[in-house]
Amino acid sequence: MSNSENWTVNTGGGNFNNTKGNYIQGNYYAAGQPQSLIEVASEIQALLKQLETSYPSDIPARDMVVATEVVKHIETNPTMKQKIINAVKEGSLAALEKAIDNPAGAFITGAIKGWEEVKNN
């Protein structure tokens, strides 16, 4: 590849564009976010989308109800729950909430924080 050639590397959370320099082979991730955090955020987003269709958008507490259902689903799936806890340890709750990108994200990360506190006590 010549230095004048444009190329793009998919990072999973955006693109890295370069017009000069050398390409370094490897895995690229969204800035500061471990891949596992991105994966669990995607899983949570999928659950949210699935459950949001079950509740009309005109219900004032819809986000809380949907978040509660997501938390119940995660709590009944120990593998997923542990995966989320591990991902948060690698990243942060704030990063996970931002990656979820849904109003219910704050409720879900609040539950995850509670799981961590119980586990640490």
Length of the chain (residues): 121
Distance (Å, rounded) from C-alpha 12 to C-alpha 41?
12
Per-residue pLDDT, 1: 44
Task: Give, to the nearest 10 degrees, the angle between helix 35-52 and helix 78-90.
Answer: 130
pLDDT band for 61, please (50, 70, 90 cuts).
Answer: confident
pLDDT band for 92, please (50, 70, 90 cuts).
Answer: confident
The SS3 of residue 57 is coil
Q: pTM value?
A: 0.65
Per-residue pLDDT, 116: 76
Q: How many CA atoms lie within 13 A of 37 on its CB side?
A: 22
Whether residue 86 has pLDDT greater than 50? yes
- Domain residue limits, the chain: 1-31, 35-120
Q: What is the pLDDT of residues 17-56, one digit of tens each?
A: 555 555 555 544 444 455 788 899 999 999 999 888 888 8
